Amino acid sequence: MYPNPNTFFDEVTRIVVRLPDDVSPNPGATRFVAIAEEKLGDVCCPPILLDDALPDAFMSGYELVDRLCMGRAQRVVDGAIRVAGSVVTPEGYLRLWRMARDEAVELRALERGYAISLTFSLQGKLAMIQAAAAGRLGGNEVYREFFRIFQDCIDVDASGWVSIESGDLNREGAAQLVYAMAEMLPRRALAAVRLKARHLANPRHLHGVEPLAFVEKV
Amino acid sequence: MSYRIEYAWKAFVEELPVKVKPRRYVVCTLGGDNNTLHGNDSQPTRCWEVGMLGDESAVIKRAVFIGRTCESGELKPYGRAMSPEGYIRIIRRALAAAVPVSDDAYWYPAVSVSPDSPLVGMAMRMALTVTPYREYGQDRVRVEFDGASRLTVFDFASAFPELQAWCLAKASIRNAH
């Protein structure tokens, strides 16, 4: 049974994950991943990433507000997204996210505190990835290190198509390597790195509601 | 760094002949780029243009969208750094002080789009006159309005929310206050 489309998304949690300081080569630019948890009627949706395409999904502080203003904060205006059941102003909504950013959690605390697993996937032609690495200063080192760290979860088929379905970001230096790899790949190329978030269990704060698998990311 | 400065805001209110949410707003902004200067007095140039158009909800949504540029410093209301929240509050205040058009301050529809835009078909279905012309070597189509049909521009604004308001209307304001 599909939910009534006239109902609203009820945002129950805003989680901002602070990535290690060395993720981005720019000094002083802390990067974040933003995740919203919401309910649709009586069912809970999978965690929603504000952006899932890397490297953009690793956002700086102002990019987080930028993404909100381009999407979710506009949907708050006519009540398509509500907070804990209440209609809020976009100003109030942005303030809630700023508070979440100020209380950002570490990557390792995400699973423990919110029962959410944050992983990445990579799909692409091996030759294309190698060419992108060769064309970038230090790219070959990134390529070698990336394939060394994730060698156990890389799948390469006979046609040279590489895929990682669920790469662990908690490995030592993984976030930095994933960012560097995603930044190396040209936009709209036949290769992409994406973030994925999913509930490991029915989380405590959504307890008692039926998990909903078919609600797509908004 | 180059950025836009906005100096003043003025909202016009129009009443549509409908029963549900009849009020429509046209929010005009007086602004210009910080590094585009007048030749004679070296002051930053500024002009009035229509920034938001539609019912209250559509205007606030557009304010949220434009307000995002405040966060990155591309837009500085009054020439100062401001948060998107502050910018939305400015637009809310402008809406609260919205006035009808007058001889000194008014807006008018000025729709100009590419000939393959679906807006052209909609205009023809509404029996509006469309006039092709060329601008900077590009084919364009201008939609002609008269006094009775000028409010139909709000239908275009709601049907094509991706169109910027300054593609749909212009403003002439001699005295901002």
How large is the ipTM? 0.88
The confidence band for A67, taking pLDDT boundaries of 50, 70 and 90, is very high
C-alpha B43/C-alpha B38 separation (Å) is 6
Extended beta strands in A90-190, E state: 105-106, 116-125, 155-156, 161-168
Q: How far is CA B74 from CA B4, B66, B89, in A?
A: 6, 10, 18
* B88·A91 Cβ contact <8 A: yes
Q: Is the pLDDT of residue A212 over 70?
A: no
Interval A93-142: pLDDT, tens? 999 999 999 999 998 888 888 888 888 888 888 888 888 888 888 888 88
How close B134 comes to chain A (CA, Å)?
Answer: 33
Question: For residue A180, what pLDDT is reported?
Answer: 87
How close B24 comes to chain A (CA, Å)?
Answer: 16
Q: Which amino acid is residue B10, in one-letter code?
A: K
Interval B57-100: pLDDT, tens? 999 999 999 999 999 999 999 999 999 999 999 999 999 999 99
Cα R_g (chain B), whole angstroms: 17
Q: What b/e string do you get for B37-51 counting C-beta neighbours within 10 Å, with b at 16 or more?
A: eeeeeeebebebbbb
* B67·A69 Cβ contact <8 A: yes
Q: Are B57 and A77 in contact (CB under 8 A)?
A: yes
C-alpha B86/C-alpha B91 separation (Å) is 9
* B64·A90 Cβ contact <8 A: yes
Mutate to test the interface with A, among B83, B85, B162 (most CBs of A within 10 A): B85
Choose among B101, B91, B93, B97: nearest CA to B52.
B91
C-alpha A181/C-alpha A193 separation (Å) is 8
* A69·B71 Cβ contact <8 A: yes
Q: Backbone phi, then psi, for B94, in 5-degree steps?
A: -65, -40
How close A135 comes to chain B (CA, Å)?
Answer: 30
* A94·B85 Cβ contact <8 A: yes
How close A131 comes to chain B (CA, Å)?
Answer: 34
* B89·A78 Cβ contact <8 A: no
> Which letter does DSSP use for residue B40 in this model?
T
Compare CB distances from A65 to B60, B61, B84 and report the shortest one's residue: B84
Extended beta strands in B61-136, E state: 75-77, 105-109, 111-113, 129-135
Please name the residues in contact with A4: beta carbons below 8 A apart, sequence gap of 6 or more: A41
CB-neighbour burial class of residue A1 (10 A; exposed 0-12, middle 13-18, buried 19+): exposed
Q: How far is CA A53 from CA A192, A215, B53, B148, in A?
A: 8, 19, 32, 48
Question: For residue A4, what pLDDT is reported?
Answer: 52
Q: Are B32 and B46 in contact (CB under 8 A)?
A: yes
Cα B153 from chain centre: 11
Q: How far is CA B98 from CA A133, B20, B163, B176, in A?
A: 56, 19, 23, 12
Q: Which amino acid is residue A107, in one-letter code?
A: L
* B67·A70 Cβ contact <8 A: no
- Which residues from chain B sit within 8 angstroms of residue A32, using beta carbons? none
Compare CB distances from A77 to B60, B68, B89 and report the shortest one's residue: B60
- Which residues from chain B sit within 8 angstroms of residue A89, using beta carbons? 88
Cα A161 from chain centre: 23
Q: Is the pLDDT of residue A40 over 90?
A: no
The confidence band for B176, taking pLDDT boundaries of 50, 70 and 90, is low
Interval B3-42: pLDDT, tens? 999 999 999 999 888 877 789 999 999 999 988 888 777 7
